[in-house]
């Protein structure tokens, strides 16, 4: 079965065509700067065979419909084509950011699902409209081909009410649905299943702390294979310190900034989303640059690094308490998979809790799943490369096959 995975953002479109019989990538692409004066498309065809080969073209992409048409033209065209006709695509899987309390599983998209996704636009005003645009154009371009929605929030729908509620007036939950939803669910779910397989345990019996550290960062506490808490909240701004997002801060800072700096709600929102996190402390948001600066004695870079790891560590402690011990801590995404310094700092001093990193294994650069804890520690430490596209494609196959 060939599955086309679509991740439609506000000004970008990422796509991946997978052959799910062999779990191989046929093509993967990204279209950027949709709606800008000049955009671009980059596609890698058969990346397993030719990992370093890619095609790029600068091209004006006025809107999402043009982006989707361009993707179709490239997948089937003479120059970069990997399939001869759209009929070779059996189903489409769409990443949808916010599924509210309604969707705890992937669903086949119909008019009522579209209506529901639209009703969650106030909860995800940047993401859900773009996701919807992708779905609606796909339904036009691929008539008769099933479309499946896979939600970033669905894995977190098992979080108990005492953990997902905010201690604010009840009416804000009952009336506006203000609560913790959590995001990166597809990634947390993928690594949960992969960790269970790696450790030889059924998913229903696995207890984990999953640590997704990319540009956005989040953690999940997983008990018996189900998510019982996560760090992101109503929005992806909550929880850990991130590249440019602040994570958890005193909520009174909003009022303080309005009063003392005269900032509007919009300005405060931008400041906390785009000018904070690692970037806010040291002016850099790529952990590789931060390490280089630390080596050159940049004290703000050092502080940003320490703050980042400190929050991961305190959350590991909190989640161990919730789960009552864990089979493993799982690091994933750009920083989680690649950054030995962050992993070491986050796990430092946790030996009394059963977490002991093997410094040599932690420093080895490799691909694939690997164990970096000292053999015999009660809590394993794993690196598991995330694969959200594969998870969405697998979910799409499952839905289509009923
Ligand atoms: P996204 O959340 O956008 O999917 P990724 O999971 O790709 O992000 O992670 C991107 C981040 O990973 C970058 O900002 C960078 O800080 C970090 N990163 C990538 N490679 C490395 C590396 N080799 N060492 C340290 N950090 C890395």
- Kindly report which listed range (119-128, 202-211, 323-332, 340-349) carries the lowest average pLDDT score: 119-128
Residue 35 CA to ligand 1 centre (angstroms): 26
Residue of the nearest CA to atom 23 in ligand 1?
338
Residue 296 CA to ligand 1 centre (angstroms): 21
Q: Cβ(292) to ligand 1 under 6 A?
A: no
pLDDT (tens digit, 9 = 90+) per residue, 269-314?
Answer: 999 999 999 999 999 999 999 999 999 999 999 999 999 999 999 9
Residue ranges and CATH numbers for the domains of the chain are 2-151 (3.30.420.40), 201-388 (3.30.420.40)
Residue 285 CA to ligand 1 centre (angstroms): 10
Contact at 8 Å (CB) between 80 and 43?
yes
Nearest to 16 by CA among 98, 97, 77, 75: 75
Q: Tell me the pTM.
A: 0.95
Q: Cβ(217) to ligand 1 under 6 A?
A: no
| pLDDT surpasses 90 at 182 | yes
Q: How confident is the model at residue 126 (pLDDT cuts 50, 70, 90)?
A: confident
Take residue 114 and report the two structure tokens written for it: 């579209």
- Residues 6+ away with beta carbon under 8 Å from 161: none
Residue 137 CA to ligand 1 centre (angstroms): 31
pLDDT (tens digit, 9 = 90+) per residue, 74-87?
Answer: 999 988 999 999 99
| pLDDT surpasses 90 at 48 | no
Q: What is the pLDDT of residue 10?
A: 85
Q: Cβ(286) to ligand 1 under 6 A?
A: yes
For helices 185-199 and 388-400, the axis angle rounded to 10 degrees is: 90
Residue of the nearest CA to atom 7 in ligand 1?
334
Pocket test for ligand 1, best of 188, 215, 341, 345 (most atoms within 8 A of CB): 215
Atom of ligand 1 nearest to the CA of 386: 6
Residue 302 CA to ligand 1 centre (angstroms): 18
How do 13-19 and 380-383 pair as beta strands? unpaired
Q: How confident is the model at residue 50 (pLDDT cuts 50, 70, 90)?
A: confident
Q: How confident is the model at residue 247 (pLDDT cuts 50, 70, 90)?
A: very high
Show the 3-state SS of the chain: CEEEEEEECCCCEEEEEEECCCCEEEEEEEEECCCCCCEEEEEEECCCCCCCCCEEEEECCCCHHHHHHHHHHHHHCCCCCCCCCHHHCCEEEEEECCCCCCCCCCEECCHHHHHHHHHCHHHCCCHHHHHHHHHHHHHHHCCCCCEEEEECCHHHHHCCHHHHCCCCCHHHHHHHCCCCCCCCHHHHHHHHHHHHHHHCCCHHHCCEEEEEECCCEEEEEEECCEEEEECCCCCCCCCCCCCCCCCCCCCHHHHHHHHHHCCCHHHHHHHHHHCCHHHHHHCCCCHHHHHHHHHCCCHHHHHHHHHHHHHHHHHHHHHHHHHCCCCEEEEEHHHHHHCHHHHHHHHCCCHHHCCCECHHHHHCCCCCCEECECCCCCCEEEECCCCHHHHHHHHHHHHHCC
Q: Cβ(216) to ligand 1 under 6 A?
A: yes
Q: Cβ(333) to ligand 1 under 6 A?
A: yes
Residue of the nearest CA to atom 26 in ligand 1?
335
Q: How confident is the model at residue 69 (pLDDT cuts 50, 70, 90)?
A: very high
Residue 331 CA to ligand 1 centre (angstroms): 12
- By annotation, the residues acting in catalysis are 152
Q: Cβ(335) to ligand 1 under 6 A?
A: yes
Q: How confident is the model at residue 390 (pLDDT cuts 50, 70, 90)?
A: very high
| pLDDT surpasses 90 at 205 | yes
Q: How far apart are CA 179 and CA 43, in angstroms?
A: 38
Average pLDDT, rounded, for the chain: 96
């Amino acid at each position: 079965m060939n599955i086309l995975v679509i991740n439609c953002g506000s000004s970008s479109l990422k796509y991946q065509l997978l052959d799910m019989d062999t779990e191989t990538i046929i093509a993967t692409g990204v279209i950027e700067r949709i709606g800008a004066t000049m955009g671009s498309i980059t596609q890698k065809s058969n990346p397993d065979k030719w990992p370093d080969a890619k095609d790029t073209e600068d091209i004006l992409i006025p809107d999402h419909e043009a982006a989707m048409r361009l993707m179709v033209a490239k997948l089937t065209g003479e120059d970069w084509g990997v399939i001869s006709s759209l009929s070779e695509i059996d189903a489409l899987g769409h990443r949808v950011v916010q599924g509210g309390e309604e969707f705890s599983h992937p669903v086949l998209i119909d008019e009522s699902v579209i209506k529901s996704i639209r009703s969650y636009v106030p909860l995800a005003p940047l993401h859900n409209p773009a996701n919807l645009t992708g779905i609606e154009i796909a339904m036009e371009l691929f008539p008769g081909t099933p479309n499946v929605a896979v939600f970033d929030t669905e894995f977190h729908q098992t979080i108990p009410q005492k953990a997902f509620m905010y201690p604010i007036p009840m009416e804000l939950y009952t009336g506006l649905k203000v609560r913790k939803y959590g995001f990166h669910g597809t990634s947390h779910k993928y690594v949960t299943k992969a960790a269970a397989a790696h450790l030889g345990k059924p998913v229903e019996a696995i207890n984990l702390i999953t640590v997704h550290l990319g540009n956005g960062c989040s953690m999940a506490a997983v008990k018996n294979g189900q998510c019982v808490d996560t760090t992101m909240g109503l929005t992806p701004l909550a929880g850990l310190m991130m590249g440019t997002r602040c994570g958890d801060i005193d909520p009174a800072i909003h009022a303080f900034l309005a009063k003392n700096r005269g900032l509007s709600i919009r300005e405060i929102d931008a400041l906390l989303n785009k000018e904070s996190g690692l970037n806010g402390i040291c002016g850099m948001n790529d952990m590789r640059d931060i390490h280089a600066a630390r080596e050159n004695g940049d004290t703000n870079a050092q502080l940003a690094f320490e703050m980042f790891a400190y929050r991961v560590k305190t959350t590991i402690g909190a989640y161990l308490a919730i789960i009552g011990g864990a089979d493993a801590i799982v690091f994933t995404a750009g920083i989680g998979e690649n950054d030995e310094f962050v992993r070491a700092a986050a796990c430092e001093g946790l030996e009394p809790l059963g977490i002991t990193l093997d410094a040599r294994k932690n420093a080895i650069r490799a691909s694939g799943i690997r164990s970096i804890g000292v053999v015999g520690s009660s809590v394993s430490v794993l690196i598991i490369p995330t694969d959200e596209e594969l998870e969405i494609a697998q979910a799409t196959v499952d839905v289509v096959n009923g």
